[in-house]
């Protein structure tokens, strides 16, 4: 029904982008729906496209709606329905050694989460429950069942890689599953801060989505430390939402009482709802996590291997996952069944779970060149044209930040003899990133291209 409007808008997007690759990547095979609540829902290929459109093209799309005489109440992005997600989860949950209760509460149909910032891979179904996290898990489910009514705010704290983000997002995903129109906003405190500072610096309007959320999830709230102005802004939004009985979910690596320089008024608000912690998983839970994750990717590990990994990695579920993935990748590459020996070799190896290993300097230079529409040899040349010099500096910065190369190494990757240029370039881009949103976006885009 909205096809012709959307085709018109797409035509204008294509013209204004003037970039076939970008257009095909993000806009090809998209479609538009407008709900009875007057909300425009643009269906795109996948969750990644959702976040790209939201980040980069939202303003353009909104302005084109208006230009074509349609002003929906809101514009949202959703991945196309595939029906895959729930099927996979169901299969897995029957294979779980420790299965979270509540399979019967699964909605029968595949769902279309609307909020672009949530990652649909974080669900309750694939969260393994054990003694270390069962309280947090039950509370999270209760919140998802009646957001805004039970405990507000819901504050989850605990060490790194123990499932705080997973749980917080699972609540959001579950709420959207039940009510696709719920406005669930997810942001890390750092995203929030950045948007807040940009709004001041560039005299832009601070995004309404925070204040207009039905559910607001702020991850890693401990970073409020030392940010007075951001604390004030957040306090304001917190109160507005709280008074309207909108659910607020916060995560932190420590309890509110240990967040230093948090104003008392915020601390007391953080403590007024429900505080739960996630603790280090015990041995059995670690085994269950490994077995389940292996099953999710279609592998079965023998008990010895599972126990070996569970014994070797005790403090961080993300690391546990990383080692397992490495083991599975390695066994696939070799075409042999993963076993304890292989696990030993990988886990004792020095290069454990380092994502920096998977990209090379060559890729950094190629992707940077491509981003700036240059050839890699131009980036590595001695040319001083501003555009080329800038691309070269960004490449140097990325070699440092992503690959941790030394300055002499960076210089030699770019065909330089003198490493002081590399030092200056890296520090120049470091500063620009702090001051200039545009540079930040450039660097983020290249990073994304490197890892996706
Ligand atoms: P945190 O936010 O506490 O640092 P995350 O939520 O990012 O940790 O978890 C790190 C990784 O471990 C994620 O990939 C997450 O899915 C996984 N994970 C953590 N806890 C569990 C769990 N109980 N069951 C399954 N996966 C988990
Ligand atoms: Mg987290």
What is the per-residue pLDDT across 282-299, written as a single tens digit (0 to 9) for each?
888 999 999 999 998 888
Q: Is 55 in the pocket of ligand 1 (CB under 6 A)?
A: no
* pTM assigned to the model: 0.57
User: In what side-by-side order are the strands of the sheet with 247-252?
Assistant: 184-188, 215-219, 247-252, 154-158, 274-278
Ligand 1 atom at minimal distance to the Cα of residue 137: 23
CA distance 403 to 417: 19
Ligand 1 in contact with 168 (CB < 6 A)?
no
Q: What share of residues in the chain are helix, strand, coil (percent, to 5)?
A: 55, 10, 35
- Please, what is the Cα angle at 450 between 209 and 386, to 5 degrees? 90
C-alpha 398 chain-centroid distance: 20
- Give yes or no for a contact between 123 and 174, defined as CB atoms under 8 angstroms apart: yes
For CA atoms 58, 64, 66, 69, the dihedral sign is negative
Please name the residue that has the structure tokens 């370039």: 425
Q: Which residue has the tokens 């999830």?
A: 217
Give yes or no for residue 164 CB within 6 A of ligand 1.
Answer: yes
Q: Specify the pLDDT at position 166.
A: 97
Strand 31-34 with 39-44, pairing: antiparallel
Residue nearest to atom 11 of ligand 1 (CA): 318
Distance CA 394, CA 405 (A): 14
115 Cα–ligand 2 center, Å? 18
Q: What is the dihedral of CA 288, 298, 78, 174, to 10 degrees?
A: -30
Burial 367-381 (b: 16+ CB within 10 A, else e): bbbbbbebeeebbbe
Per-residue pLDDT, 307: 93
Closest ligand relative to 89 C-alpha: 1
Q: Is the CB of 317 under 6 A from ligand 1?
A: yes
Q: Which residue lies with its CA nearest to atom 12 of ligand 1?
A: 318
| Residue 408, both tokens | 């002499």
Looking at all shown ligands, the one closest to residue 99's CA atom is 1
161 ligand 1 Cβ < 6 A: yes
Ligand 1 in reach of 166 Cβ (< 6 A)? yes
Q: What spacing in Å lies between the alpha carbon of 162 and ligand 1's midpoint?
A: 5
Closest approach atom of ligand 1 to CA 167: 6
Cα 293 from chain centroid (whole Å): 19
Atom of ligand 1 nearest to the CA of 133: 23
Site to probe by mutation for ligand 1, drawn from 128, 310, 317, 321 as the one with most ligand atoms within 8 Å of Cβ, is: 317
Q: Is 288 touching ligand 1 by the criterion CB < 6 Å? A: no
Q: Is 248 exposed, middle or buried (0-12, 13-18, 19+ CB in 10 A)?
A: buried
* For the CA of 251, the nearest atom of ligand 1: 2
Under 8 Å between Cβ of 408 and 421: no
Is 37 in contact with 73 (CB distance < 8 Å)? yes
Taking only the tens place, the pLDDT of each residue in 119-138 is 999 999 999 998 889 999 99
Cα(320) to centroid(ligand 1), Å: 10
Name residues of the chain where pLDDT drops below 70: 1, 48, 81-116, 349-358, 452
Q: Are 343 and 317 in contact (CB under 8 A)?
A: no
Tokens 């430390």 locate to 225
Q: Is 293 in the pocket of ligand 1 (CB under 6 A)?
A: no
The pLDDT of residue 100 is: 35
SS3 string of 123-150?
A: CCCCCCCCCCCHHHHHHHHHHHHCCCCC
Cβ–ligand 1 distance for 127 under 6 Å, the answer: yes
Helix (H, G, I), strand (E, B) or coil at 76: strand
Q: Are 14 and 23 in contact (CB under 8 A)?
A: yes
For ligand 2, the distance from its centroid to the CA atom of residue 217, given in whole angstroms, is 12
Distance CA 114, CA 41 (A): 8
Q: Is 253 in the pocket of ligand 1 (CB under 6 A)?
A: no
Angstrom distance (rounded) from CA 291 to CA 167: 20
Give the Å distance between the CA of 442 and the centre of ligand 2.
Answer: 24
Tokens 């290993």 -> residue: 357
Nearest C-alpha to atom 6 of ligand 1 is from which residue? 163
Q: How confident is the model at residue 101, as a pLDDT?
A: 35
Rounded distance between C-alpha atoms, residue 386 and residue 202, angstroms: 25
Report the C-alpha gap between 101 and 134 in whole angstroms: 11
Q: Is the CB of 133 under 6 A from ligand 1?
A: yes
CB atoms within 10 A of CB 254: 14
Whether the link from the prior residue into 200 is cis, omega within 30° of 0, is no
- Candidate from 158, 163, 171, 286 with most ligand 1 atoms within 8 A of CB, to mutate: 163
Q: Probe ligand 1: pick from 161, 186, 295, max atoms within 8 Å of CB? A: 161
The ligand minimizing its distance to the Cα of 292 is 1
Tokens of 425: 């370039």
Give the nearest ligand 1 atom to 122 CA: 16
d(C-alpha 224, C-alpha 431), whole Å: 22
pLDDT value at residue 70: 82
The CA distance from 318 to 55, in Å, is 26
């Amino acid at each position: 029904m909205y096809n012709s409007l959307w085709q018109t808008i797409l035509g204008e997007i294509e013209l204004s982008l003037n970039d076939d690759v970008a257009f095909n990547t993000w806009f090809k095979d998209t479609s538009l729906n407008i709900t009875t609540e007057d909300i425009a829902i643009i269906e795109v290929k996948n969750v990644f496209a959702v976040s790209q459109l939201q980040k980069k093209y939202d303003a353009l799309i909104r302005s084109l709606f208006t230009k074509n005489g349609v002003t929906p109440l809101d514009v949202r992005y959703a991945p196309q329905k595939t029906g895959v997600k729930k099927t996979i989860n169901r299969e897995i949950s029957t294979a779980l050694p420790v299965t979270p209760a509540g399979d019967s509460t699964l909605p029968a149909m595949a769902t279309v989460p609307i909020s672009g910032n949530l990652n649909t891979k974080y669900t309750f179904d694939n969260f393994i429950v054990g003694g270390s996290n069962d309280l947090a898990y039950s509370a999270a489910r209760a919140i998802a069942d009646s957001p805004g009514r039970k405990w507000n705010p819901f504050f989850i704290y605990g060490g790194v890689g123990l499932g705080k983000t997973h749980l917080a997002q699972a609540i959001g995903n579950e709420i959207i599953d039940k009510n696709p129109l719920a406005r669930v906003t997810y942001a890390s405190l750092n995203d929030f801060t950045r948007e807040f500072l940009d709004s001041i610096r560039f005299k832009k309007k601070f995004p309404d989505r925070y204040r207009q959320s039905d559910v607001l999830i702020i991850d890693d709230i401990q970073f409020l430390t030392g940010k007075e102005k951001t604390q004030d802004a957040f306090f304001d939004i917190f109160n507005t939402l709280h008074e309207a009985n909108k659910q607020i979910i916060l995560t932190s690596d420590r309890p509110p009482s240990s967040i230093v320089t948090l104003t008392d008024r915020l601390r007391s608000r953080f403590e007024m709802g429900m505080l739960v912690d996630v603790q280090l998983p015990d041995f059995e839970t670690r085994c269950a996590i490994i077995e389940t994750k292996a099953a999710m990717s279609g592998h079965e590990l023998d008990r010895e291997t599972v126990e070996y990994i569970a014994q070797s990695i005790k403090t961080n579920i993300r690391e546990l996952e990383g080692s397992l993935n490495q083991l599975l990748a390695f066994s696939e590459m070799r075409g042999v069944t993963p076993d304890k020996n292989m696990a030993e070799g990988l886990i004792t190896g020095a290069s454990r779970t380092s994502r920096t290993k998977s990209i090379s300097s060559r890729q950094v230079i190629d992707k940077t060149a491509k981003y700036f529409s240059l050839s890699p040899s131009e980036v590595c040349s001695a040319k001083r044209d501003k555009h080329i010099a800038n691309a070269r500096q960004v490449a140097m910065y990325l070699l440092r930040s992503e690959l941790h190369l030394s300055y002499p190494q960076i210089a030699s990757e770019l065909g330089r003899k003198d490493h002081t240029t590399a030092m200056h370039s890296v520090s120049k881009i470091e500063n620009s990133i702090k001051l200039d949103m545009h540079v930040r976006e450039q660097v983020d885009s290249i990073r994304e291209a490197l890892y996706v």
